[in-house]
């Protein structure tokens, strides 16, 4: 599950939607947070697409 720390659509007022969904997943899971320093703090991580894809594929390598 990916989340951006400054996501325009999923605010962290209480618990962000990505975190709610993550909490309900019953399979192997990992929460990937992307920050402003990484360039991935916006919705869908446009400034850090390579980083997001690399982390997702790392998780797949570890999990499958």
CA gap 40, 45 in Å, rounded? 4
d(CA 61, CA 55): 10
pTM for the whole structure: 0.79
pLDDT on residue 13: 64
pLDDT of residue 11: 66
Q: How do the pLDDT tens digits run along the chain, 64 residues long?
A: 999 888 888 766 678 888 899 999 999 999 999 998 999 888 888 889 999 999 999 999 999 9
The predicted pLDDT at position 9 comes to 82
Residue 32 pairs in a beta bridge with 2
DSSP per residue over 8-64, as a string?
Answer: SSS--SSS-HHHHHHHH--SS---EEE-TTTT--STT-GGGHHHHHHHHHHHHHHH-
């Amino acid at each position: 599950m990916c989340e951006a720390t400054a996501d325009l659509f999923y605010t962290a007022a209480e618990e962000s939607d990505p975190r709610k969904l993550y909490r309900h997943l019953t399979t192997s899971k990992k929460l990937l947070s992307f920050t402003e320093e990484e360039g991935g703090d916006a919705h869908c991580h446009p400034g850090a697409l390579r980083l997001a894809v690399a982390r997702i594929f790392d998780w797949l390598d570890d999990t499958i």
